[in-house]
């Protein structure tokens, strides 16, 4: 696996695919700079080598050229985070872009305009990719968030750099972290899967059953498993058409020697409301008119023991409706358990939209080993899929 550490960028122009698809407010100010900060080590390494950086990214889903999706809105934020002045060019291909790159001196950074202003980007057009390839001597992919897309800038462009392509720091770390869970992780390995639907996690479950020793299931999908086994779940969320599948997963896990841990008690509420009446009830005895919205105290005690005994942990999905303060305790408790295990030397990887949001909201970011920046890409990796952006660099 070639990374930026395998190259010296002195007097070289690095064409870097970054993921600067950041949220903006109505004043076009960046409200979360996580993705920009994540790209910083790669950019700094190239500049310190004596090279220059040409940054390409998308922003949103524009229909043609639309100013609200222009990357010129984020120039100041990128400059602040990276700590150098950022040059900008109002296109990402063609003579204007090529001239701007030509004038670039070692130590300088150029940000290209939104790739998705050209429909050829998302269609994976080869000619468009070839035009992009003229803008650098070495191609660096550091955008894990788009590595599952076979777009021109994430995948197709790599073919024009047969010997001069590599992963940036961020993408290399993402690959390594997922690898630790799926391939090289120290046992016992525990996966914690939350969220509301079994259907959205089924391929992940099927792929990781051969890799993990323990599977903790929480969140809304709990109730499909409980109902499938004859439990009473009141008005809790349930995918009735997935009950057979739930039983099949339990059977497969048993055959493979994987211990599945389901909640034993829950915080049930009489309405889907932060101010609803709540009660602690057995997970399979939820009264009619009530719904399970968070994990209960006995469940959290049991999950805590499993987590502390683990050497490798994957966490994907919250354990309750953490957006409501009344039902955030389960997710916070799991975060605390993982943080404690990590402090004791366990490797912990957190990924997937809602669990990443929870980690940020409750301040666990620096208490776990790694927080993945790519939602869809991370999930596809866990499903065992080969991501085109990664295969393009590895040459497979």
pLDDT in tens, 212-221: 999 999 999 9
44 pLDDT higher than 60: yes
- Looking at 197, 232, 360, 367, which residue is catalytic? 197
- Looking at 107, 231, 353, 384, which residue is catalytic? 353
Looking at the structure, tell me whether residues 87 and 134 fall in a common domain: yes
Contact 88, 110 (CB under 8 A): yes
**Binding-site annotation: residue ranges for ATP:** 201, 292, 323, 352-355
Distance CA 237, CA 232 (A): 12
Looking at the structure, tell me whether residues 87 and 194 fall in a common domain: no
Mean pLDDT rounded to a whole number for the chain: 94
Structure letter (DSSP) for residue 190:
E
Q: Of the candidates 324, 364, 357, which has an alpha carbon nearest to the alpha carbon of residue 342?
A: 364
CA angle 362, 367, 370 (to 5 degrees): 105
Looking at the structure, tell me whether residues 150 and 250 fall in a common domain: no
Looking at the structure, tell me whether residues 8 and 85 fall in a common domain: yes
353 as an active site residue: the answer is yes
pLDDT at position 148 is: 87
**Terminal CA-CA length for the chain:** 11
- Looking at 35, 165, 211, 227, which residue is catalytic? 35
Q: List the structure tokens of 18.
A: 């970054």
**Binding-site annotation: residue ranges:** 19-21, 35, 58-61, 116, 149, 201, 292, 323, 352-355
* Position 175 in a domain: no
* Position 264 in a domain: yes
pLDDT at position 146 is: 87
Q: Of the candidates 293, 324, 341, which has an alpha carbon nearest to the alpha carbon of residue 192?
A: 341
Contact 144, 171 (CB under 8 A): yes
328 pLDDT higher than 90: yes
pLDDT at position 271 is: 96
| Counted domains in the chain | 2
CA angle 299, 305, 265 (to 5 degrees): 5
375 pLDDT higher than 80: no
Looking at the structure, tell me whether residues 147 and 203 fall in a common domain: no
Q: List the structure tokens of 150.
A: 């076979």
pLDDT at position 336 is: 96
Residue 102 sits in a domain of what CATH number?
Answer: 3.40.50.1260
Model pTM score: 0.86
Q: What are phi and psi of 261, to 5 degrees?
A: -115, 115
37 as an active site residue: the answer is no
* Position 387 in a domain: no
Looking at the structure, tell me whether residues 133 and 249 fall in a common domain: no
Listing from the earlier edge strand, what are the strands of the sheet with 291-295?
A: 278-282, 265-269, 291-295
252 as an active site residue: the answer is no
Q: Which domain holds residue 367?
A: 185-382
Tens-digit pLDDT profile for residues 119-173: 999 999 999 999 999 999 999 999 988 888 899 999 999 999 999 999 999 999 9
Looking at the structure, tell me whether residues 144 and 236 fall in a common domain: no
Alpha helices, H only, the chain: 34-49, 75-82, 95-102, 119-123, 126-133, 169-179, 202-208, 222-228, 243-256, 297-308, 329-343, 353-361, 375-382, 388-394
pLDDT at position 211 is: 92
* Percent of the chain whose pLDDT exceeds 70: 99
Binned at pLDDT 50, 70 and 90, residue 353 comes out as: low
Q: Of the candidates 56, 47, 45, which has an alpha carbon nearest to the alpha carbon of residue 21?
A: 56
Tens-digit pLDDT profile for residues 80-102: 999 999 999 999 999 999 999 99
* Position 319 in a domain: yes
- Looking at 107, 232, 252, 376, which residue is catalytic? 376
Contact 302, 264 (CB under 8 A): yes
Q: Of the candidates 374, 373, 370, which has an alpha carbon nearest to the alpha carbon of residue 387?
A: 374
* Position 224 in a domain: yes
* DSSP track, 309-332: T-SEEEEES-SS-TTSGGG-HHHH
Binned at pLDDT 50, 70 and 90, residue 351 comes out as: confident
Contact 116, 153 (CB under 8 A): no
Question: 49-58, 122-131, 363-372, 378-387: which has the minimum mean pLDDT?
Answer: 378-387
pLDDT at position 59 is: 96
pLDDT at position 333 is: 96
* Position 177 in a domain: no
Distance CA 379, CA 159 (A): 26
Distance CA 256, CA 12 (A): 51
**Binding-site annotation: residue ranges for substrate:** 19-21, 35, 58-61, 116, 149
Q: Which residues of 338-372 are buried (b: 16+ CB within 10 A; e: fewer)?
A: bbebbeeebbbbbbbebbbebbeebebeebbbbbb
Looking at the structure, tell me whether residues 274 and 201 fall in a common domain: yes
79 pLDDT higher than 60: yes
Looking at the structure, tell me whether residues 200 and 339 fall in a common domain: yes
Looking at the structure, tell me whether residues 107 and 213 fall in a common domain: no
Looking at the structure, tell me whether residues 97 and 154 fall in a common domain: yes
Tens-digit pLDDT profile for residues 269-294: 999 999 999 999 999 999 999 999 99
Non-local CB neighbours of 95 within 8 Å, separated by 6+ positions = none
Return the number of other C-beta atoms located less than 10 Å from residue 336's C-beta.
16
The mean pLDDT of 340-358, rounded to a whole number, is: 89
65 pLDDT higher than 80: yes
DSSP bridge partners of 189: 312
The mean pLDDT of 171-191, rounded to a whole number, is: 91
Looking at the structure, tell me whether residues 35 and 164 fall in a common domain: yes
């Amino acid at each position: 696996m070639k990374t930026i550490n395998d190259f010296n960028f002195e007097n070289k122009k690095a064409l870097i695919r970054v993921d600067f698809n950041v949220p903006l407010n109505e004043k076009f100010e960046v409200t979360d700079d996580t993705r920009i900060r994540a790209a910083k080590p790669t950019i700094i390494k190239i500049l310190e080598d004596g090279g220059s950086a040409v940054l390409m990214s998308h922003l949103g889903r524009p229909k043609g050229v639309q100013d609200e999706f222009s990357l010129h809105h984020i120039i100041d934020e990128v400059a602040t985070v990276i700590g150098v002045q950022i040059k900008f060019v109002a296109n990402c291909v063609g003579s204007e872009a090529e001239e701007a790159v030509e004038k670039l001196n070692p130590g300088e950074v150029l940000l290209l305009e939104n790739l998705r202003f050209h429909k050829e980007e998302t269609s994976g057009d080869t000619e468009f990719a070839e035009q992009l390839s003229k803008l650098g001597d070495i191609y660096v992919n550091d955008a894990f968030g788009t590595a599952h897309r076979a777009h021109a800038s994430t995948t197709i462009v790599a073919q024009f750099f047969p010997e001069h392509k590599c992963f940036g720091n961020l993408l290399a770390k993402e690959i390594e972290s997922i690898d630790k869970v799926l391939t090289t992780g120290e046992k016992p390995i525990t996966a914690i899967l939350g969220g509301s639907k079994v259907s959205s996690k089924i391929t992940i479950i099927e792929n990781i059953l051969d890799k993990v020793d323990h599977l903790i299931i929480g969140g809304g999908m709990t109730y499909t498993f409980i109902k499938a086994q004859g439990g009473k779940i009141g008005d809790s969320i349930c995918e009735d058409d997935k009950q057979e599948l739930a039983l099949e997963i339990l059977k497969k896990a048993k055959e493979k020697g994987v211990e599945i841990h389901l909640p034993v008690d829950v915080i049930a509420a009489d309405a889907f409301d932060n101010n609803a009446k709540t009660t602690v009830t057995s997970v399979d005895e939820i009264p009619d008119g009530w719904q399970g919205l968070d994990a209960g105290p006995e469940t959290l005690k049991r999950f805590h023991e499993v987590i502390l005994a683990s050497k490798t942990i994957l966490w994907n999905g919250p354990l309750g409706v953490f957006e409501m303060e009344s039902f955030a305790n389960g997710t916070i408790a799991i975060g605390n358990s993982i943080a404690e295990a990590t402090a004791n030397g366990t490797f912990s990887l957190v990924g997937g939209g809602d669990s990443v949001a929870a980690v940020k909201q409750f301040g666990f970011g620096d208490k776990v080993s790694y927080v993945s920046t790519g939602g869809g890409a991370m999930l596809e990796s866990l499903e065992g899929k080969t991501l085109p952006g990664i295969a393009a660099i590895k040459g497979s």
